[in-house]
Amino acid sequence: MLEQLANQFLAMNAKSARNLVGSLSRLQKGGFSITDDQGAVDATEKPRISTASLGYGMSGRNYDSKPFHFIDGIAIIPVMGTLVHKLSYSSSWATGYNVIVGMFDAANADPDVEGILLAINSPGGTVAGCFDATDHIAQNKGDKPVWAIYDDMACSGAMCIASVADKRLTTQTAISGSVGVVQIHASYQEMLAESGLAVTLIYSGSHKVDGNPYKNLPESVYEDFKTQCDDLRQQFAAKVATNIGLPIETVLETEAQTYTGQAAVDAGLADELVNSHNIISHFKQHLSSPDSSTLRSVTMSEQSTSVATESVTAGEEAQAATPATATTENAVDHQARCKAIITAEAAEGRKDLAHHLAFDTDMSVEQALGVLAKAPQQSATAEQGNALDAAMANTEQPNITAVAEDSEPSEAEQFVQSYKTATGAK
């Protein structure tokens, strides 16, 4: 593990990277084992998910039948701990990018899954594997909504993974951002000198041993590494900007800063502030909405502003609709509509019905002409009847008895009755 992190480019929160590499370095001498909240981690075992993700209301048993946690149609994919290239397990301590990709592919192909939730609590990890994993998820998303929750850290490489989500949600204390690259160089030169040890590197190619830990980093090598860091940061920012829909300049201007809670929403790196305990019900509400691709429910960050915004908007719309010129224009439009219906070719022989549709309904000209075209022409004996009587005059009527209300209405009557009972805009 240490070899995968030391002297490598990391898309990782700098403080977390220092702490991690330092801890591994101290343990390196006598070897070390990896443990998480379930005990020792065996890299040969089936990838397991930290029980920390059970806080979303799941039982540990629902991981037995699927390669991800599953509840109420939602696949929970953990993005936790240090993210490492080609690591064969997932735990609260570390997660392999390939494991995240594998779980995503399985959830994406599973007919039981309605939505995918990336549960993120990670400071990031290696650049190696990060961009490929991000691109794979972005390019293979299907019709299933993909959400991400920052609970309680989504920095650097984890921010890159989060950027592919259709919606990104953050808790009020979650730290996110850190869109940048860091490389840690460890030099043992002074320590070796104090110990009386000398290390000789025999190599061919002037850059073959650049960054080796046995001597301090030369300025020229530092500048080379810095250039590579800048290039990787540019790629990183481009991916985050493209996936979220921000200008790349906006992402670069963050200068790898981290944001807490609402500040991440304000910076454009998150969409909403939520309580992590409500994430499943919030996602389910979205999935059950008539148009789950666009409909959003009110969340913590919106509750304090939605009522005020709606009242202001309603007031502005009311003011815009009240000038005298608007009233005059409406009257002219209504007169033209009535004339178009009454004088239409389809109104011939259907005078009463045409007048009814023009003056007693809000039908558009197209809707009214459609009804007239399907209605039978009225006979001369029906001119004193109402519009529906006129429309039905030439239609064969059943033998009406005391239960005449059960008789079949005419086609024209069905049109008008349907229009009257319809709700919504007409």
Look at residue 305 and tell me if it is in a domain.
no
pLDDT above 80 (res 329): no
- Contact status, residue 270 vs residue 264, Cβ threshold 8 Å: yes
3-state secondary structure 191-221: HHHHHCCCCCCCCCCCCCCCCCCCCCCCHHH
359 and 402 belong to one structural domain: yes
Please tell me the predicted confidence (pLDDT) of residue 319: 45
287 and 354 belong to one structural domain: no
pLDDT above 70 (res 10): no
258 and 362 belong to one structural domain: no
Indicate the number of domains in the chain: 2
Look at residue 185 and tell me if it is in a domain.
yes
287 and 339 belong to one structural domain: no
pLDDT above 90 (res 44): no
Token pair recorded at residue 325: 């010129």
Catalytic residue among 156, 163, 178, 410: 156
- In sequence order, the β-bridge partners of residue 94 are 82
Higher pLDDT: 124 or 15? It is: 124
230 and 331 belong to one structural domain: no
Task: Indicate if 204 belongs to the active site.
Answer: no
84 and 212 belong to one structural domain: yes
Domain boundary among 266, 300, 334: 300
Please tell me the predicted confidence (pLDDT) of residue 341: 84
Give Cβ neighbours of residue 273 (< 8 Å, ≥ 6 apart). 169, 170, 171, 172, 261, 262, 265, 299, 300, 301
Domain boundary among 243, 266, 300: 300
Q: pTM for the complete prediction?
A: 0.60
Look at residue 159 and tell me if it is in a domain.
yes
Confidence of residue 360 (pLDDT cuts 50, 70, 90): confident
Please tell me the predicted confidence (pLDDT) of residue 279: 94
Tell me, what DSSP letter sits at residue 419? Answer: H
CATH number of the CATH domain containing 22: 3.90.226.10
Look at residue 228 and tell me if it is in a domain.
yes
Among 178, 152, 173, smallest CA distance to 163 is for 178
Report the DSSP pairing between strands 115-126 and 9-12.
antiparallel
| Tokens 């001498």, located at residue | 29
91 and 187 belong to one structural domain: yes
Please tell me the predicted confidence (pLDDT) of residue 30: 46
180 and 279 belong to one structural domain: yes
Please tell me the predicted confidence (pLDDT) of residue 371: 79
Among 65, 174, 161, smallest CA distance to 118 is for 161
Residue 160: how many CA atoms within 13 Å on its side-chain side? 35
Domain boundary among 285, 300, 315: 300
- Contact status, residue 239 vs residue 164, Cβ threshold 8 Å: no
* 376-418 per-position pLDDT tens digit: 776 544 444 444 444 444 444 444 343 444 445 565 666 666 6
Distances (CA, A) of 41 to 33, 34, 91, 94, 348: 8, 5, 8, 10, 85
- Contact status, residue 261 vs residue 171, Cβ threshold 8 Å: yes
Confidence of residue 353 (pLDDT cuts 50, 70, 90): confident
Look at residue 317 and tell me if it is in a domain.
no
- Contact status, residue 96 vs residue 84, Cβ threshold 8 Å: yes
Look at residue 309 and tell me if it is in a domain.
no
368 and 330 belong to one structural domain: yes
| Boundaries of domain holding 368 | 325-421
Confidence of residue 372 (pLDDT cuts 50, 70, 90): confident
Q: Which helix (H) or strand (E) holds 272?
A: strand 272-273
265 and 160 belong to one structural domain: yes
Distances (CA, A) of 357 to 92, 218, 331, 341, 350: 68, 88, 17, 8, 11
* 254-300 per-position pLDDT tens digit: 999 999 999 999 999 999 999 999 999 999 999 987 665 444 333 44
Please state, in angstroms and rounded to a whole number, the distance separating the CA atoms of residues 36 and 50. Answer: 8
7 residue type, one letter: N
Look at residue 319 and tell me if it is in a domain.
no
Look at residue 347 and tell me if it is in a domain.
yes
C-alpha 222: how far from chain center = 39
* 58-83 per-position pLDDT tens digit: 544 455 678 888 998 999 999 999 99
18 and 157 belong to one structural domain: yes
> 3-state class of 110 per DSSP?
coil
Please tell me the predicted confidence (pLDDT) of residue 270: 97
Q: How close are the terminal C-alpha atoms of the chain, in Å?
A: 66
Among 224, 230, 183, 148, smallest CA distance to 12 is for 183
40 and 155 belong to one structural domain: yes
